[in-house]
Amino acid sequence: MPTIASESTLSDEVRVYEELVRNTGQRTLEILEHRRKTATVHRRGWLVRRLLVLADVSGLLIAFALAEKLTVAGVYEDRVGPSIEYLAFAGMLPVWIVMARLFGLYDHDEERVDHSTADDLVRVFLLVTTASWTLWGFASLTNVVNPSSGRMILLWALAIVFVTAARAFARFLARRQLAYFQNAVIVGAGEVGQLVAHKINQHREYGINIVGFVDDEPRSPHPLLPEFRLLGSLERLPAVVRVFGIDRVIIAFSHRTEQEMLSLIRSLRELDVQIDIVPRLWEILGSELRVHGVEGLPLIGLRPLRLSRTSQLMKRGMDVLVSLAALVALAPLFALIGVLIRLDSPGDIFFRQVRRGSGDREFRICKFRTMAQHADDEKHRLMDQNMHAVNGGDPRMFKVPNDPRVTRVGRLLRRTCLDELPQLINVLKGEMSLVGPRPIILEEDRHVIGWARKRLDLKPGMTGLWQVLGASEIPFDEMTKLDYLYVTDWSLWGDLRLIFRTLPAVLRARRAY
C-alpha cells in the first residue's frame, strides 16, 4: 500500500531520480532552478495574492482620483474639502483588503486551474457595492465626512471597472513569472490521465507544468501528447513530489484498490500539495455542480434537463439588448470591413451558409466573407489535406490550416474573429444566441447522434465553451461533449462568464480555420 517514504528510503529515491531530473523537461528545470535560487520559496499563491492586493489598491485609487477630478470639474458639489476625503479614503484601503479577503477574492488562483478575473466579477461587484454604501452610510451618520450621493455613485461605478481591469492586468503579469508555474504529476497514465495532460498542455495560461505520470500499468503514449514521461509506480509518488517540488497531484484513475488510493491521498495531504481528483462519470459533470450531503456523505446533484420559462426569457432578453446595442455601436466598423473586403477581392461582403439550429431547424448564418469567390469549388480538392490537418485529420470536421482560399483581409478577420460579428444579426433575429453550442454545418450535424443531439435544445451561440477553450484545436467528439455540458448545465452567470472569457481567448494565439 503506497504511503509516505521514510528518510532512508527517500535518500535512495533521490539518487534514483537525480538522473531523471537532469533528463526532464526544460520548463521543469527552469522552475526548480528558480526555486533553488530563491531564499524563500515564493509560489503561485504568494505571487498572485500580492499582485491582486496591489491591483485592488491601484484600481481604487484611480477610481477615486477620477471621481474627484470630475467633481472638481463641477459635475458634483461636495460639502467637505478634497484633502479630508483623500485621508478618509486612504484609511478605508486596509478595510477593503480585509473585506476582499473575507469575500474570497485572494484564495482561488492557487487551487483552481482555470480561475480567471471573470470568476471574480460577482464578488467584486458585491464587495464594491457593500464597501461603498457602508462607507457612505457611516460618513453620513458620523458627519466626519459627508460626500455627496452623486460622487459616491460615480466612485462605485468607476471602482467596479478599474478594480476588475487592474485584477486582469495583475494576472496577466503573474502568468509571465516562473513563480506562477506549478509542477504537477498525474496519477494514472491511462486514457483519462493522458487526456487531462493534453487539455492542460493546450492552455499555457493555466500555468501548469506536467512533469510526468505515475502509474503501475501505463498505456501507450497518445500521439497528441508532445512528451510522455513515466516517473515510476505509485510507491514512488511521495519521492517524486519531494524531488521535483510538485505543487499539484492530479488523480486520474488507477488500477489500485479504493482503499489503497484513499491511503495514498491521505499520505499526500501531509506533503503540502494541491490534490485534484477526476471524478467518476466526469463526462456528464459540468462546472455548475450542486454538492449536498447526507450525514457527511457528499452527493453531487444534477439538475433536470429543462430550462424554465423565466430562464429562457432572461437569456433572450440579454441577446436582444446586447446584439441591438452592439450593431448600432459597431456600424462604422462594419462599413470599414465591408470596404476592405471589396478592395481585397471581388464578391459579396457577406458569406451565408446553412447551419443546424435549435429544435432541428435550419438557418442561414451570416459572416463577413473571408474566402475568394467560388471557394466551394476547391473544397473537394482540399479534402485530402484535411485528413492530415488538425485533430488527427478527423473527417467529420473540415478544417485546413493555411487554407489557400482565404484572402489577405480574410486571414486578418479570422485571426481576430471579426468575421463573426455579422452573427449579431442572427442573434437579433432569434436564430442564434450570444452564448451557446457551436453552430455546425449540416454535413457535421449528420455525425451528431444519440445523447449528443441534446445540444439542439438551445440556440447555437456566437461564443461558447468550444470557442473559449480551444476552438479548432478541440476534436469533434470533445466539441459535442462540451455542447452537451453547456446545455445541461446552463446558467445566466455561466453565459456572462463565457462572454468575459471570450476576449482573452481571442487574444491568445489560437488557430482559426
Q: What is the pLDDT of residues 29-45, one digit of tens each?
A: 777 777 777 655 667 88
- Please give the pLDDT value at position 395: 61
Q: Where are the alpha helices (DSSP H) in 23-81?
A: 26-37, 44-72
Q: Which three cell numbers stand for residue 41?
A: 520559496
- Please give the pLDDT value at position 10: 46
- Please give the pLDDT value at position 423: 96
Q: What is the pLDDT of residues 344-395, one digit of tens each?
A: 888 889 999 999 999 889 999 999 998 887 655 555 555 555 444 445 455 6
> Long-range contacts of range 473-477, CB-CB < 8 Å, 24 or more positions apart?
473/202, 473/390, 473/391, 473/510, 473/511, 474/391, 475/391, 475/392, 475/394, 475/397, 476/391, 476/394, 476/396, 476/397, 476/444, 476/447
SS3 208: strand
- Please give the pLDDT value at position 75: 44
Nearest by Cα to 64 from 92, 103, 41: 92
Q: Is residue 22 pLDDT above 60, yes or no?
A: no
CA distance readout (Å), 345 to 369, 381, 438, 472: 10, 22, 28, 26
Q: Is residue 153 pLDDT above 70, yes or no?
A: yes
71 vs 340: which has the higher pLDDT: 340
Cell 459635475, residue located: 75
- Please give the pLDDT value at position 394: 59
> Chain-centre distance of CA 169, in angstroms?
15
Q: What is the pLDDT of residues 45-68, one digit of tens each?
A: 889 999 999 999 999 999 988 888
Q: Exposure string (b/e) for 148-170, b if CB count within 10 Å is 16 or more?
A: beebbebbbebbbebbbebbbeb
Q: What is the pLDDT of residues 105-127, one digit of tens each?
A: 998 888 888 888 888 988 999 99
Q: Read off φ and ψ for residue 367, nearest 5 degrees.
A: -140, 165
Averaged pLDDT, 280-309? 78
Q: Which three cell numbers stand for residue 411?
A: 486571414
CATH 3.40.50.20 fits 7-37+181-279, yes or no: yes
Query: What one-character DSSP code corresponds to residue 82?
Result: H
- Please give the pLDDT value at position 454: 87
Amino acid residing at 125:
F
Domain ranges for the chain, please list them.
Answer: 7-37+181-279, 44-174, 309-507
CA distance readout (Å), 465 to 75, 87, 274, 509: 43, 46, 26, 17
- Please give the pLDDT value at position 497: 86
pLDDT band at 460 (very low <50, low <70, confident <90, very high): very high
Q: How far apart, in whole angstroms, are the C-alpha atoms of residue 77 and residue 31?
A: 54
Q: What is the pLDDT of residues 199-236, one digit of tens each?
A: 888 888 899 999 989 998 888 887 777 778 888 888 88
pLDDT band at 168 (very low <50, low <70, confident <90, very high): very high
Q: How far apart, in whole angstroms, are the C-alpha atoms of residue 250 and residue 231?
A: 14
Q: How far apart, in whole angstroms, are the C-alpha atoms of residue 321 and residue 340?
A: 29
CA Rg value for the chain: 26
> Chain-centre distance of CA 366, in angstroms?
27
Cell 473540415, residue located: 398
- Please give the pLDDT value at position 76: 45
- Please give the pLDDT value at position 422: 96
> Chain-centre distance of CA 316, in angstroms?
24
- Please give the pLDDT value at position 276: 92
Amino acid residing at 298:
P
Q: How far apart, in whole angstroms, are the C-alpha atoms of residue 454 and residue 62?
A: 47
pLDDT band at 477 (very low <50, low <70, confident <90, very high): confident
Residue-averaged pLDDT of the chain: 81
pLDDT band at 443 (very low <50, low <70, confident <90, very high): confident
> Chain-centre distance of CA 421, in angstroms?
22
Polymer length in residues for the chain: 513
Neighbours of 343 (CB within 10 A): 8
Q: What is the pLDDT of residues 285-295, one digit of tens each?
A: 776 677 888 87
